[in-house]
Amino acid sequence: TWGADLNPQACANLLAEGACGAAASAREFASVVDALVILVVNAAQVRQVLFGEDGAAHLMKPGSAVMVSSTISSADAQEIAAALTALNLNMLEAPGAGVAGQAALVDVAGLAG
């Protein structure tokens, strides 16, 4: 397992729990993973993770999967999926349902489509 977070303490926590690596950007490990799970606030942040200056998508192996667990519009999901398909990557839209308090208690629902 690899993890990315802008918060250095979150990265340190990942490493302490046994992650293979942690960085501020998924770009650091995009070329070695078969799947990337993205859980950020909105579609703009999903695009930043995938296609921004430090974007991971262009470095991922063809055929890899990208699971977007952010709540985004259908139009945004279709646009992001098309951009990933052009790179021979697969997208699974799987937003989580719940609020921060529920997430802290590991009480959230996952949806996939």
Answer yes or no: pTM beyond 0.95: no
Mean pLDDT for each consecutive 10-residue tract of the chain (113 residues)? 94 96 95 95 96 96 96 94 98 72 47 47
What is the model's pLDDT at position 22?
96
- Where residue 61 sits, what CATH number does that domain have? 3.40.50.720
What is the model's pLDDT at position 97?
61
Range of the domain at 90: 31-110
Q: Is residue 89 part of a domain?
A: yes
Q: Is residue 1 part of a domain?
A: no
Angle, alpha carbons 71-93-113 (nearest 5°): 115
Q: Is residue 9 part of a domain?
A: no
DSSP assignment of 58-108 equals GGSPTT-EEEE-S---HHHHHHHHHHHHHTT-EEEE--EES-HHHHHTT--
